[in-house]
Structure 1
Amino acid sequence: MKVLLRAATIYNPQSEFHLQQQNILIENGTIAYIGPDEQHADKVIARDGLCVSAGWVDMHAFAGEPGLEYKEDLESLAAAAVAGGFTEVLLLPNTEPVVQTKSAISYIKNRSQSLPVTFLPAGAVTVEAAGKDLTEMIDLHRAGAVAFTDGTHPLQGADVMLKALQYLQTFNGVLLNKPEHTRLTENGQMHEGEASTRLGMKGIPALAEEVTVTRDLQLLRYTGGKLHFSLISTAAAVASIRKAKEEGLEVTCDVASYQAAFTDETIEPFDTNYKVAPPFRSAADAAAIKEGLKDGTIDVLVSGHVPQDVEAKKLEFDLAEFGIINLETAFAVAHTTLELPLGALLEKLTTNPRRILGLPEVRLAVGEAANLTLFNPHITWEPTAENTKSKSYNSPFFGQQLKGRALGTIHRGQLVLNDSF
């Protein structure tokens, strides 16, 4: 099948056509032509404002399969990912059972072979993600695990963290850790501040993140290796990571694209769709996140996609589960709220996550496999529960006007266009 992208603006610094408007012909999943001339095709995609980039990569999403398919299965996650413009998605290992065996890695890889998105399995660092005994990470790496993390369970023991950093160096693996001291966040519901006091809720202190970042960086200085912080949210964490990078440590980090969309003062009180971990924090923290993205301290934007069923969210705030769905809205929320130049935003969805995870570079050039995201950064739209592809509906963005939208993807020889196209 031949597909022509007509007059598409190319965002791909690795390509000689970067920032140029060109016709792109894709034949049987391979880029066959890039240039100004019209090409015969079976399908022509033309739209004002059409842009194309390397396929977007998400480094933080949860799929319930196996064991929690009622929240999200791999098919629904793939549909949500493609609707959001993602062609590759790193899956957290916190399923039932935990992704800690070669067979679990193989299951994920095999299940996604026919889907229009590539699932990247992350292996658990510790058995059952319980923070005690290390898994057989070398075997998991050979089976196809691209990174190692206990996902939603932050590593608490300094000894375990140290051993994991040392172990992963045997194959140049990367350790992902969510920086949270769980004893300090126990029973917390929202950011600790004036708003939590006013609402009578137990707070989640910024200190819980900051002390863990400081500890992990100290261990990294001692052991060497590669460390990636997942879902940072505080000004102090940004400052510490910035300083560590200046020292030359191999440290990277990501932030959820929604993290600066609200603060603890602007969330809808007691609406559980605003209950996330880490929580929406202060205006100063949101400003530091934006600055960290602009100066390169924060390497990657992620969806932080955590689907929760109605029974887990339609409860009193202190009983509800944490998490929101964001694969479909990740780009739009970031483009709407983060005040980040489009090129820099795309770098944090394409080049940087691939570099951190050791994935092949994607280049828009003749002869290269087409791994592309089609998008329009100018259109405005409102996501709705009725149109979501996810199995779950826990989003604070339904009914809100957002700017910028993914239009479709081309990956693995499959063209998928969104309903809005």
Structure 2
Amino acid sequence: MKILIRSAEIIAPNSQLNGQRRDIWIENGIIKNIANAGELPTTEAHRVYKDEALKVSAGWVDMRALAKDPGLEHQEDLYTVRDAAAAGGFTEIALLPNTHPFTQTKESIIYAKTKGNTHAVTVHPMAGVTIDGKGKDLTEMIDLHMAGAIAFTDGIKPVWHSDILVKTLQYLQTFNGLLINRPEDTLLTQFGNMHEGITSTMLGLKGIPAIAEEMMIARDLRFLEYAGGKIHFSTISTAKAVQLIRQAKHKGLKVSCDIAAHQIAFDDTALLEFDTNLKVNPPFRSQADIAALWEGLADNTIDAIVSDHNPLDIESKKLEFDLAEFGITGLETAFALINTYNKILSVSDMVEKLAIRPRQILQLPVPAIEEGQVANLTLFSTELEWTYLEKNIRSKSLNSPFIGQTFKGKPLAIINNGKIA
């Protein structure tokens, strides 16, 4: 297929073409020609992308999505998660291991990599650190790494066992593997439903205290100093968490972190109406926490932005608030959320956190927008206004508080694996 991207602004922070408008000719998945805007003819192109506000960058990578396949395919499968990712502008996604059965064997890694692999979106399965995610016995991480596991995590569960965490940091150093941990002291958060504060007290809901996240980060950083290796904290949410990681980076520890895109959209007061689609973990925090997250994004304490895509059926959400499950769909709205609420990041900054840093953390090559290179691209607009409508949702599940909301900024297409979506 021959594709012409007409007069697009190239967003490539480390390239001389960054910020310049160019025509890009792609043939059979390869960038064949990059020319001045308006120079390349449209006559031979099978498809032409053209818009005054059109931008193009290296394809985006989501470091945290849950596909529910195998086990709960009625909520999401490996085909529909790719469709949702493409709609959100992601050419590659890293999948959490919280499937049924848990992703902890070579066969499960191969299954995730191959089912639906003719799609434009590439899947990178992550494998469990512990058997069944219970935090007690280590998986065969070297075998899983050789089978294609891109990182190791217990996913929606933290690695709570101190000895297991230390051994994991040591073990992964043998092949430069990455530990991804979601920081939460589950003894402090059990039965919790939302951020612990004035609003939770008013609503009579058990709170999830910020200290439950912060103490686990402090613990893990101390173990990182002791054992060596590297760790990535996923979906941090508090001001103190940002501060702790900032200090650790200044000390030279090999630490990185991300936030979920939806975390900046609401504070805890949004739960006054008991909308279960707003029940997420980590919970929506205070305005002071949100301000700290923006500061962390601006000074690169926070390395990446993730979708934290967790599709759930209506039976899991249409319940009393304290009985509903945690989770939100996020692949299709992640960029739109950040762009709509953004007051501090440049377009290059957003691309850095969606495309560049995730790859560096996961040790994936960063696609270059150069002649002769394989096309792995996201086409997007930061100006286009659009409404997130139920009829257009690609995920199988509808557990999103953003249905009906108008956003500014939208992915328009992805090109990857020689395909367009």
Shared fold per TM-score greater than 0.5: yes
- Alignment of 1:392 with 2:394, yes or no, is no
Q: Are the counterparts in 2 of residues 260 and 338 from structure 1 also a CA contact under 8 Å?
A: no
- In structure 2, the partner of 1:365 is 370
- In structure 1, the partner of 2:199 is 195
Alpha-carbon distance in 2 for matches of 1:80, 1:276: 19
> Quick one: structure 1 residues 268 and 89, their matched pair in 2 at CA, closer, same or farther if it must change by over 3 Å?
farther
- Alignment of 1:29 with 2:29, yes or no, is yes
Alpha-carbon distance in 1 for matches of 2:132, 2:243: 33
- Alignment of 1:38 with 2:40, yes or no, is yes
Task: Give the Å deviation of 1:116.
Answer: 1.2
Task: Give the Å deviation of 1:15.
Answer: 3.0
Task: Give the Å deviation of 1:202.
Answer: 0.5
CA shift digits 1:80-114 (9 cap, x unpaired): 00000000000000000011011111111111421
Alpha-carbon distance in 2 for matches of 1:305, 1:7: 33
- In structure 1, the partner of 2:20 is 20
- Amino acid across the alignment from 1:301: I
- Alignment of 1:218 with 2:222, yes or no, is yes
Alpha-carbon distance in 2 for matches of 1:283, 1:220: 30
Alpha-carbon distance in 2 for matches of 1:329, 1:208: 28
SS at match of 1:3: strand
Alpha-carbon distance in 2 for matches of 1:404, 1:175: 33
SS at match of 1:290: helix
- In structure 1, the partner of 2:245 is 241
- Alignment of 1:335 with 2:339, yes or no, is yes
Alpha-carbon distance in 2 for matches of 1:243, 1:324: 31
Runs in 1 of length 4+ with deviation above 3 angstroms? Answer: none
How many residue pairs get matched?
416
SS at match of 2:149: coil
How do 1:366-381 residues align onto structure 2 when only pairs under 5 Å count? 366-381=371-386
Task: Give the Å deviation of 1:385.
Answer: 1.6
Q: What RMSD, in angstroms, separates the aligned Cα atoms of the two structures?
A: 0.9
Q: Are the counterparts in 1 of residues 10 and 20 from structure 2 also a CA contact under 8 Å?
A: yes
Q: Are the counterparts in 2 of residues 150 and 177 from structure 1 also a CA contact under 8 Å?
A: yes
Alpha-carbon distance in 1 for matches of 2:86, 2:26: 18
Q: Are the counterparts in 2 of residues 375 and 407 from structure 1 also a CA contact under 8 Å?
A: yes
- Amino acid across the alignment from 2:146: R
- Alignment of 1:115 with 2:119, yes or no, is yes
Task: Give the Å deviation of 1:49.
Answer: 0.7
Q: 1:408 aligns with which of 410, 413, 421?
A: 413
- In structure 1, the partner of 2:296 is 292
SS at match of 2:175: coil
- In structure 1, the partner of 2:387 is 382
- In structure 1, the partner of 2:353 is 348
Task: Give the Å deviation of 1:341.
Answer: 1.8
Q: Are the counterparts in 2 of residues 112 and 119 from structure 1 also a CA contact under 8 Å?
A: no
- Amino acid across the alignment from 2:4: L
- In structure 2, the partner of 1:144 is 148
Alpha-carbon distance in 2 for matches of 1:57, 1:147: 14
Q: Are the counterparts in 1 of residues 13 and 348 from structure 2 also a CA contact under 8 Å?
A: no
CA shift digits 1:183-217 (9 cap, x unpaired): 00000000000000001100000010000000000
Q: Are the counterparts in 1 of residues 169 and 228 from structure 2 also a CA contact under 8 Å?
A: yes
Task: Pick which of 111-120 and 355-364 moved more.
Answer: 111-120
The gaps in structure 2 that reach 5 residues or longer are none
Q: Are the counterparts in 2 of residues 76 and 389 from structure 1 also a CA contact under 8 Å?
A: yes
- Amino acid across the alignment from 1:33: N
CA shift digits 1:350-401 (9 cap, x unpaired): 1100000000111000000000001000011110222100000010111112
The gaps in structure 1 that reach 5 residues or longer are 417-421
Q: Are the counterparts in 2 of residues 231 and 253 from structure 1 also a CA contact under 8 Å?
A: yes
Q: 2:282 aligns with which of 278, 284, 297?
A: 278
SS at match of 2:383: strand
Alpha-carbon distance in 2 for matches of 1:267, 1:33: 51
Q: Are the counterparts in 1 of residues 3 and 26 from structure 2 also a CA contact under 8 Å?
A: yes
Task: Pick which of 232-241 and 394-403 moved more.
Answer: 394-403
Q: Are the counterparts in 1 of residues 11 and 347 from structure 2 also a CA contact under 8 Å?
A: no
- Amino acid across the alignment from 2:362: L
How do 1:65-214 residues align onto structure 2 when only pairs under 5 Å count? 65-214=69-218
Alpha-carbon distance in 2 for matches of 1:338, 1:103: 42
Q: Are the counterparts in 1 of residues 8 and 56 from structure 2 also a CA contact under 8 Å?
A: yes
Alpha-carbon distance in 2 for matches of 1:308, 1:361: 32
CA shift digits 1:282-318 (9 cap, x unpaired): 1111110010000000000000111110000000000
Alpha-carbon distance in 2 for matches of 1:384, 1:179: 33
Alpha-carbon distance in 1 for matches of 2:272, 2:360: 37
Alpha-carbon distance in 2 for matches of 1:92, 1:176: 10
> Quick one: structure 1 residues 268 and 71, their matched pair in 2 at CA, closer, same or farther if it must change by over 3 Å?
farther
Alpha-carbon distance in 1 for matches of 2:374, 2:315: 43
SS at match of 1:170: helix
Alpha-carbon distance in 1 for matches of 2:21, 2:271: 40
- In structure 2, the partner of 1:320 is 324
Alpha-carbon distance in 1 for matches of 2:252, 2:406: 41
Alpha-carbon distance in 2 for matches of 1:154, 1:86: 26
TM-score (norm 2): 0.98
